[in-house]
């Protein structure tokens, strides 16, 4: 006749003691050791408070149709220049050379966000002129919406020079976001929604590339044209214009931000509780051992007659 376990239930044994006993002291110590060390363990193992996190977003970028072009036309330092700023064009005088520019912005995946800028620039040259170097500055309107709403005006700057006169410069690159400090997790961030180039200024110093780049690079949030491989084509035929072809992509960016209060608490809570579970288990075993074996005196009250209430 084989026996088998037909049913089981745990029996609850209560241990009672008065306030001023060793058992009470033990209980206090155990409680402290259970709940405080997990906090210290979680903190000391780094990353308890999440201070920086990242998210992905494709920015809403629009070319602002502001352009500044400087081209050196001989090795002595003569140059021609053009911009979309009337004041600067007036100042340039004889050095002004108006190119033919065509621009197209494409939305390739039809999600309402533009993905690519195609810019073609044909700079007519006089017979004695050759292009040795090109500085091109384009401005963009840059917006992010997912966490904090970022609205800013940004810049792409291309500089290329060669000892051999060129016929064409081809640029294909990404407009990358650069940030020094993380963005806030909410709110409107529009401190940089100011013109990169003050086109209304009649003073020459407003168009000094040094000043423009210096004040731009001072910003926490900038864009930079990452174009590792500009192609400089040599061999321009007489009478043909110098060409600049640019393809600038607006890629998906990984943006770092400072998590908000509840996000920080959430991740800290997860870490705390996962460490706390181990401590709870360990100290539960210790307590059971201590009281079952009467290491510390306490009065056990067995289940006896359970009062169904």
Partner 1 sequence: MAVSAAVFCLLFLFNAATTNENTTSYNLNTTLGDQNVTFNFMENDTTPQPTEFESTSPTPSSTSTEPPQPAEPLPASGRLPTTVTTVDSVCPCDLHESVCDINCCCDRVCAEELSLFTSCSVDRVSGSQQLCSGDVASYSLRITIDGYSELQASVGEEPNYDILCIQSQNRVGGLSHPPPALPTDSSFDSLFKEFTSFMFGSEERQVSSAELQDSSGYQYGEVMLTADRGVFLLPAAAITADCVDSSPAGFLKDQSSVCSRRVTLQQHCSSLPPLSMNTYTDIQLLAGKNEDAAVIPVQVCSVVLQSVEGTQTELQISDGEDLPPALLDPSLCANVVLQVAYVMKYSPAGEIVNVSVSLVLGSVSEAELTLEQEFHITFVQEDGGEGAVHSSGNPGYVVGLPLVSGTRTAEGIVGSLDPRDTLSLLLSAEQQDCLRGPQQRAPVLFAVDSVSGCTLRLEDAGNCSLVQQLLLDVLRGPNPPQHVASFRNSLLDSPMDWLPIKNNLNPGEAQSCSIPLSLHLEVQWTQYGSLVNPQAQIVSIKEIIQTNTTSLEVLSAGSSTLSISSSVAFIPVSAAALPGYRATPTIDAKLPFDFFFPFV
Residues in contact with partner 1 by the rule CB under 8 A = 43, 49, 51, 62-66, 68, 70, 76-79, 81, 84-86, 88, 90-93, 95, 101, 103, 110-112, 135, 141, 199-200, 202-205, 207-209, 261, 264-265
Nearer of residues 119 and 298 to partner 1, judged by Cβ: 119
Q: What is the DSSP letter of 11?
A: P
CB of 297 within 8 A of CB of 21?
Answer: yes
Rounded to a whole number of angstroms, the minimum distance from the CB of residue 237 to partner 1 is 27
Nearer of residues 117 and 169 to partner 1, judged by Cβ: 117
- Distance, in Å, from the CA atom of 71 to the CA atom of 67, rounded to the nearest integer, reads 13
Nearer of residues 92 and 225 to partner 1, judged by Cβ: 92
Nearer of residues 267 and 279 to partner 1, judged by Cβ: 267
Beta bridge mates, 96: 81
Report residue 186 CA to chain centroid gap: 14
Nearer of residues 50 and 286 to partner 1, judged by Cβ: 50
Rounded to a whole number of angstroms, the minimum distance from the CB of residue 221 to partner 1 is 20
Phi, psi of 41 (to 5 degrees): -65, -45
Phi, psi of 3 (to 5 degrees): -95, 145
Nearer of residues 103 and 286 to partner 1, judged by Cβ: 103
Rounded to a whole number of angstroms, the minimum distance from the CB of residue 6 to partner 1 is 45
Rounded to a whole number of angstroms, the minimum distance from the CB of residue 115 to partner 1 is 13
With CA atoms as reference, report the closest residue to 184 among 140, 157, 160, 220: 220
Phi-psi sector, 110: left (phi>0), alpha (psi -120 to 50), beta:
left
Query: What are the start-end ranges of the E strands in 88-201?
Result: 100-106, 116-123, 131-144, 149-179, 188-189
Rounded to a whole number of angstroms, the minimum distance from the CB of residue 202 to partner 1 is 5
- Distance, in Å, from the CA atom of 254 to the CA atom of 55, rounded to the nearest integer, reads 6
Query: What are the start-end ranges of the E strands in 231-297?
Result: 231-234, 242-249, 253-257
Rounded to a whole number of angstroms, the minimum distance from the CB of residue 133 to partner 1 is 11
Rounded to a whole number of angstroms, the minimum distance from the CB of residue 267 to partner 1 is 11
Tokens matching residue 114: 């533009």
Nearer of residues 113 and 176 to partner 1, judged by Cβ: 113
64: part of which helix (H) or strand (E)?
A: strand 60-72
Nearer of residues 171 and 197 to partner 1, judged by Cβ: 197
Rounded to a whole number of angstroms, the minimum distance from the CB of residue 39 to partner 1 is 9
CB of 69 within 8 A of CB of 82?
Answer: yes
């Amino acid at each position: 006749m084989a026996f088998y376990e037909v049913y089981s239930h745990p029996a609850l044994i209560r241990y009672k003691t008065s306030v001023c006993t060793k058992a009470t002291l033990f209980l206090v110590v155990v409680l402290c050791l259970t709940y405080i060390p997990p906090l210290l363990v979680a903190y000391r193992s780094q990353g308890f408070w999440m201070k920086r996190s990242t998210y992905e977003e494709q920015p809403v970028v629009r070319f602002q149709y502001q352009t500044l072009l400087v081209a050196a036309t001989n090795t002595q330092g003569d140059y021609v220049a053009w911009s979309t700023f009337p004041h600067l064009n007036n100042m340039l005088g004889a050095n002004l050379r108006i190119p033919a520019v065509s621009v197209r912005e494409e939305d390739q995946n039809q999600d309402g966000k533009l993905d690519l800028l195609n810019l073609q620039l044909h700079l007519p040259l006089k017979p004695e002129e050759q292009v040795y170097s090109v500085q091109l500055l384009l401005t963009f309107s840059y917006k992010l919406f997912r966490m904090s709403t970022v609205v800013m005006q940004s810049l792409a700057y291309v500089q290329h020079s060669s000892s051999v006169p060129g016929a064409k410069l081809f640029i294909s690159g990404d407009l990358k976001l650069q940030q020094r400090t993380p963005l806030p997790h909410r709110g409107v961030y529009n401190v940089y929604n100011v013109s990169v180039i003050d086109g209304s200024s009649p003073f020459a110093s407003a168009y000094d590339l040094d000043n423009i780049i210096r004040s731009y690079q001072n910003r926490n949030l900038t864009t930079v044209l990452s174009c590792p491989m500009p192609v400089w084509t040599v061999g321009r035929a007489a009478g043909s214009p110098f060409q600049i072809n640019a393809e600038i992509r607006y890629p998906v960016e990984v943006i770092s931000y400072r998590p908000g209060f509840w996000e920080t608490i959430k991740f800290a809570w997860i870490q705390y509780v996962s460490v706390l579970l181990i401590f709870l288990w360990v100290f539960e075993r210790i307590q059971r051992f201590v009281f079952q074996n009467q290491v510390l005196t306490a009065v056990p009250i067995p289940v006896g007659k359970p009062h169904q209430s």
